[in-house]
Structure 1
């Protein structure tokens, strides 16, 4: 839900996806880490751990915490990405990294192999099925559904314990993939149910709303960082930092940024949209019209995009720091010369100009409305990830210039089997698909509402014709009725 620049911007921090260091036959001491100037952290590319945002910058809950800890030691952070939890744990045993920070649950089997930091958070292991699909309402009911979990996950340990009292319980273990991929399989209906940590479920249900949490497999369990058995001095340093004022603030900041807002952040409310057309749109319609005309966009589409971004709230703020009626990042606002993101007179022209820039980054030979839909998707997920998606489309013999093909390809950016070979890696690829779909839906609702209101206000044909005519710089309800819809209906 944010506007983002294609430029990668500031310095990257040695974030390598395939490289490993020699490691040797033992874990490094805290002093050796400091002398080397580098903390090596094993992780995975996923929304609850580490990924690149739309600006091509590293982010994610585990990344943010690891970066803060590395800063406290006065060393650089190097993220070493592994394909699966099993690979991460094997890498830690072989001393390929100093710490494993990958949303790891502390379990009896893992305690026997590793040291753990103090808990970063506690999570519940939840059984997730699909609304209107085949579901399980209890542990015994899991025997009646197709169930899959990630190989070597904490979920496997829990299911093995449950199997002792439920002999009919069975499941499939999937290697080399993440929990997010299995949640998508459930959402798509190719799998009945899976098991996932509550924080992973919370993030993904925003984008996969048909997912249904059935029950918790047991009591909440701690998440922490895993370390080699010999790394007692590093474990103490981690625990001391987490207990310090700086560490507590870092953990609170991460929780607020990635998790606090999830239960209440919802942009899909048709009734509210209709009310806001009447209450808010009239304040900004002239700005939408002028900006749209300048860049050859349909003003209703621009208004619909702004509603998707902010509900036409000029003071809107997202947990990731985007602000204003067009939800501009600070970097994008600076790039566009916007001094105050909360000023609609600055934000709307800038947001539309940025959308035009995204459109112009695609070939002029792409027919409309596909080119506009691709631009909207780039506004949301970033041009860097759209570049990846187009490269993947070509690899899959899909048309990178067709929105019909791209809306099938984009969700694959969240599938490890596809994104691990791409330049910018993981992205919530289903989000720009839903983003464009919502804008198209809002576009239709706004256009129909304005048409209905204009017909109610004007009983004369000439008046109705004027209401549907060229955009006017006027304001108020009458001017809002002059917004026009030219895009085809959503399909």
Structure 2
């Protein structure tokens, strides 16, 4: 009886949720690349930042003890630095969504360890290969172990939406009676590996490197069955951005020659002990949901301030790296790096006490919020003014605010005011009669705001509220 029910359930699942792959099936093409936005390297450099799509995994991009980490992240950060621009990341697990972002000019690079295929070349251009990867079946050793390709017949495999794995599975056999159920889901590779371990699904497919990293600290995982042989992997760019592609290829060539790529690969793929701690720590966005040891008091302080606690955590990380005993060269101390005069003004007796230091900083932030509230009524814009004021002093930011009005721009938009804050190194502007606080390295404060908001966006995406 059971032998009759099992195939029936399999067919029912396919009809309801998935697709059946046979020798005759051709992979459907998705029309995701009709009219790509014209945006190349000169536009990106002029804009001042490059946007890249990454996956949230232990080898691509994640948060560990407040820091952003990951193989793709470090590569992209190095590329952005070489271009003299900032790096903005977009976290996606769905490759088709990533290609759409690229098409619409919302992203400039898709850095998701993409296998180069003829089908994908209809939509994107590929950089030179960054490495090679093979694909393996991920399963439980205690489950219905599959030891050969033939045993995959009539099995159901869960894969990420838009992944190359679908065509790889479909090409496994030339036998017209061979069928495999494929269920495409909007989840990442590592999320599906976790579901295998949790016995929510039986099988998934993953890049061998990623699968091995997970298998080193999960003895229950078997990743021995190869689905596809080694093939080149690269990054994707818009097909109408040849200059960006050329710059990326030049950068890849130099980093390969210098040994940088090999060193970074070793850090994330060959050091299983470090991978284990980073992935399973309570302070990892992969293994837990904590940013720091001070999350509880940060949450209390943020509630007092009316901020998302992850935004306040971003500020604390930027100031002290969550070290309550941190002291700057200028004498600023504590989690929020307050100067002695500010500590005294806001009632902090012991600057090394995490709670006192934090609440002193929060009281200072509340003061700055009150200072800017009437001038900048929109809260999201006001936060940028508050952060800049916390870094450089509200007098300098106020000067930039006045200059913005004088030159006919909108003083309620940080984008306009930050332009004039950066100009406070120019005598024409800092000697203007309406400027009271004089010369300032305003670009440092502007970058400070960007750094915190970029980090906050990562915390917001990867760490639960």
TM-score normalized by the length of structure 1: 0.48
After superposition, the Cα gap between the structure-2 partners of 1:26 and 1:122, relative to the gap in structure 1 and judged at 3 Å, is: same
CA distance in 1, matches of 2:80, 2:276: 35
Query: Runs of 5+ in structure 1 lacking a partner?
Result: 1-23, 268-330, 339-355, 362-420, 429-491
CA distance in 2, matches of 1:335, 1:135: 50
| 1:251 is aligned to 2:261 | yes
In 2, are the aligned partners of 1:140 and 1:169 still within 8 Å (CA)? Answer: no
1:69-114 deviation line (CA, Å, top 9, x unaligned)? 1111111111122342221122222222111112222122112321
| 1:262 is aligned to 2:272 | yes
Match of 2:183 in 1: 173
Residues matched between the structures, number: 263
1:132-151 superposed matches below 5 A:
132-151=142-161
3-state SS in 1 of match to 2:105:
coil
Query: Runs of 5+ in structure 2 lacking a partner?
Result: 1-34, 278-319, 328-352, 359-456
3-state SS in 1 of match to 2:235:
strand
After superposition, the Cα gap between the structure-2 partners of 1:42 and 1:333, relative to the gap in structure 1 and judged at 3 Å, is: closer
State the structure with bigger RCO (CA 8 A, min sep 6), 1 or 2: 1
1:99 to 89, 96, 109: 109
After superposition, the Cα gap between the structure-2 partners of 1:137 and 1:66, relative to the gap in structure 1 and judged at 3 Å, is: same
Shift of 1:131: 0.7
| 1:64 is aligned to 2:48 | no
In 2, are the aligned partners of 1:26 and 1:95 still within 8 Å (CA)? Answer: yes
After superposition, the Cα gap between the structure-2 partners of 1:111 and 1:90, relative to the gap in structure 1 and judged at 3 Å, is: same
1:339-418 superposed matches below 5 A:
none
3-state SS in 1 of match to 2:179:
coil
Shift of 1:155: 0.5
After superposition, the Cα gap between the structure-2 partners of 1:130 and 1:254, relative to the gap in structure 1 and judged at 3 Å, is: same
Match of 1:44 in 2: 55
After superposition, the Cα gap between the structure-2 partners of 1:166 and 1:157, relative to the gap in structure 1 and judged at 3 Å, is: same
1:271-325 deviation line (CA, Å, top 9, x unaligned)? xxxxxxxxxxxxxxxxxxxxxxxxxxxxxxxxxxxxxxxxxxxxxxxxxxxxxxx
3-state SS in 1 of match to 2:89:
strand
1:36-435 superposed matches below 5 A:
36-55=47-66, 57-165=67-175, 167-245=177-255, 248-262=258-272, 423-426=459-462
In 1, are the aligned partners of 2:57 and 2:189 still within 8 Å (CA)? Answer: no
Shift of 1:156: 0.5
In 2, are the aligned partners of 1:116 and 1:226 still within 8 Å (CA)? Answer: yes
Shift of 1:124: 0.9
Shift of 1:65: 0.5
CA distance in 1, matches of 2:256, 2:154: 48
3-state SS in 1 of match to 2:272:
coil
Match of 2:42 in 1: 31
CA distance in 2, matches of 1:217, 1:263: 27
Shift of 1:425: 4.2
Considering only aligned residues, what root-mean-square deviation do their CA atoms show, in Å?
Answer: 3.2
CA distance in 2, matches of 1:138, 1:97: 40
Shift of 1:123: 0.9
In 1, are the aligned partners of 2:93 and 2:160 still within 8 Å (CA)? Answer: no
After superposition, the Cα gap between the structure-2 partners of 1:142 and 1:38, relative to the gap in structure 1 and judged at 3 Å, is: same
In 1, are the aligned partners of 2:62 and 2:69 still within 8 Å (CA)? Answer: yes
In 2, are the aligned partners of 1:53 and 1:427 still within 8 Å (CA)? Answer: no
Q: Which consecutive segments of 4 or more residues in structure 1 shift more than 6 A? A: 263-267, 331-334
After superposition, the Cα gap between the structure-2 partners of 1:100 and 1:208, relative to the gap in structure 1 and judged at 3 Å, is: same
In 1, are the aligned partners of 2:136 and 2:224 still within 8 Å (CA)? Answer: yes
CA distance in 1, matches of 2:276, 2:235: 32
CA distance in 2, matches of 1:121, 1:142: 28
Shift of 1:137: 1.5
After superposition, the Cα gap between the structure-2 partners of 1:265 and 1:89, relative to the gap in structure 1 and judged at 3 Å, is: closer
After superposition, the Cα gap between the structure-2 partners of 1:264 and 1:426, relative to the gap in structure 1 and judged at 3 Å, is: closer
Match of 1:447 in 2: none
Moved more, 217-226 or 240-249: 240-249
Shift of 1:239: 0.7
